[in-house]
């Protein structure tokens, strides 16, 4: 599990506004930032397969890195 708990609530909201995540990406981002669920728990909440979850998570992280590089 990736720990994004260093992000503040305003950081997460700023990223969400600036990047425009999908609903699934937004859920994953908030759980990773609050560090309140494991990857498996998030998969269950989203009701997606393991492969689908990690694909969404990978896309989410790519978007965050891309935005960081642009800033």
Burial class (CB in 10 A: 0-12, 13-18, 19+), 15: buried
Task: State the Cα–Cα distance between residues 58 and 63, nearest whole angstrom.
Answer: 9
Which DSSP letter does residue 68 get?
H
Cβ proximity of 5 and 30 under 8 Å: no
**pTM score above 0.75:** yes
pLDDT digits (tens, 9 = 90+) for 25-71: 999 999 999 999 999 999 999 999 999 999 999 999 999 999 889 87
Task: Identify the pLDDT of residue 24.
Answer: 97
Task: Identify the pLDDT of residue 71.
Answer: 76
Task: Identify the pLDDT of residue 70.
Answer: 85
Task: Identify the pLDDT of residue 38.
Answer: 94
């Amino acid at each position: 599990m990736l720990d994004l708990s260093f992000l503040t609530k305003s950081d997460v909201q700023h990223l969400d506004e600036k990047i425009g995540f999908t609903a699934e990406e937004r859920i994953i981002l908030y759980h990773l930032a609050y560090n309140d669920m494991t990857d498996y728990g998030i998969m269950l909440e989203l009701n997606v397969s393991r492969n689908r979850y990690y694909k969404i998570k990978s896309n989410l992280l790519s978007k965050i890195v891309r935005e960081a590089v642009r800033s």
